[in-house]
Amino acid sequence: MKVVFAATDNITPEHWLAPLQQALPDMEVLAWQQDGPAVEADFAVVWTPPADLFLRETRLKAVFNLGAGVDALFRLPGLPADLPILRLEDAGMAVQIAEYVIHALLRASRSFDQYQDLQQQGLWQRVPAIQRERWPVGVMGAGVIGSRVAQAIAALEYPVASWSRSAKAMPGVTSFSGPDHFSEFLQRTRVLVNVLPLTAETIGIMCRESMQQLQSSAYIINVGRGGHLVEDDLLALLDSGHVKGATLDVFQQEPLPKSHAFWKRPEITITPHISGASLQENSIAQVVTKLQSFIRGEPLTGLIQRDRGY
């Protein structure tokens, strides 16, 4: 059986092909060649794959995505409606994303930027100590990653709530679910963390209307997708002072264009989509396990449900 490996962005095929081939000794692992012929692969292992993947490789039995989010796949032409798509679950990403979110939260709530300014002025000066009740955090998304994030925050005793499609019981985390409870969730939240998958239902979810319902002096932490955030609306809310700052790992356009207004805003911290890297060893092990289960017709986790888009 043949596996085509088609990845761009931060996953460089040169570093992944040999380990993947080694992990799949009974298969032929082939690199996607941009102008090459179809290899008539049985399986594809992909990350932000080339636009013509599905137009060229028409014999695929399943696709394995080297990341949690599959939105890039859905944008490609020729994706067969019944082709099984499997995504990574955690694979070392959840703990990294939890660290990233905790860093951004603590930086705001423990006044680290203020202390940096004071240091620059040579000042030994205390700002008021933290009152946790003034820092309610709301995490949108309660899958493997969102749950890990919410629980890490709960462990530090911040008031934390999650909002997801269906209710999710987690110790120390108040669960809100569905569109009917979205406003209630926003209104009790000061630090809004986005870990949602990007789907037709979640695109643009962080817009003026939703963000202005947050408590005043709000913070935005986006580790989902750039498409979740209406970027001009964030700028307007920063200008009005309702939102005090944002830590953004994902953007409408990546790499973030040099001329983008975000670069010049000190209230925005920009990172280049690194909050949760797909770690090679974990990711390959997960792909191999899923592929073997698929071939044996065993039940699979991480299978995308096409009707909900993740």
Catalytic residues: 225, 273
Least distance CB 67 / ligand GLV (angstroms): 3
What Rg, from alpha-carbon coordinates, does the chain have?
21
Which span (61-69, 175-183, 257-265, 301-309) binds ligand GLV, by CB under 6 A?
A: 61-69
Kindly tell me which of 39 and 250 has the beta carbon lying closer to ligand GLV: 250
- Which position among 11, 44, 53, 68 is part of the footprint of ligand GLV (CB under 6 A)? 68
Output 254 or 267, the one with its CB closest to ligand GLV.
254
Site for ligand GLV in 6-25 (CB under 6 A): none
> Does 69 sit near ligand GLV (CB under 6 A)?
yes
Each residue 214-233 as x (binds ligand GLV by CB under 6 A) or -, in order, gives: --------------------
CB of 143 to ligand GLV, least distance (A): 11
68 versus 139: smaller Cβ distance to ligand GLV: 68
Q: Shortest distance, CB of residue 97 to ligand GLV, whole angstroms? A: 9
DSSP string, 207-258: SHHHHTTSPSSEEEEE-S-GGGB-HHHHHHHHHHTSEEEEEES--SSSSPPT
Q: What is the DSSP string of 98-159?
A: HHHHHHHHHHHHTTHHHHHHHHHTT---PPPPP-GGG--EEEE--SHHHHHHHHHHHHTT--
Q: What is the C-alpha end-to-end distance of the chain, expressed in Å?
A: 27
Nearest-angstrom CA–CA distance, 218 and 215:
6
Interface mask (CB under 6 A) for ligand GLV, residues 269-298, using x and -? -------x-x--------------------
- Can you tell me the distance from the alpha carbon of 46 to that of 66, in angstroms, rounded to the nearest whole number? 6
d(CA 235, CA 221): 14
Site track for ligand GLV across 80-99, x = CB under 6 A: -------------x------
Who's near 164: CB < 8 A, 6+ residues apart?
140, 141, 142, 143, 146, 175, 176, 177
Stretch near ligand GLV under the rule CB under 6 A, chosen from 65-73, 135-143, 154-162, 289-297? 65-73
95 vs 295 by CB, closer to ligand GLV: 95
Location of structure tokens 């406003």: 183
Size of the site for ligand GLV (CB under 6 A): 6
Structure-block tokens of residue 239? 């200008």
Query: E-assigned strands of 28-99?
Result: 28-31, 43-47, 62-65, 85-87
Indicate which single residue of 7, 29, 56, 67 sits in contact with ligand GLV (rule: CB under 6 A).
67
Tell me the window of 29-37, 50-58, 64-72, 112-120 that interacts with ligand GLV (CB under 6 A). Answer: 64-72
Least gap, CB of 148 to ligand GLV (angstroms): 14
Please state whether the peptide bond connecting residue 49 to the residue before it is cis, i.e. omega within 30 degrees of 0: no
Q: Do 274 and 56 touch, CB atoms closer than 8 A? A: no
Of 67 and 138, nearer to ligand GLV (C-beta) is 67
Q: Which residue is nearest to ligand GLV (CB)?
A: 67
Q: Which residues contact ligand GLV (rule: CB under 6 A)?
A: 67-69, 93, 276, 278
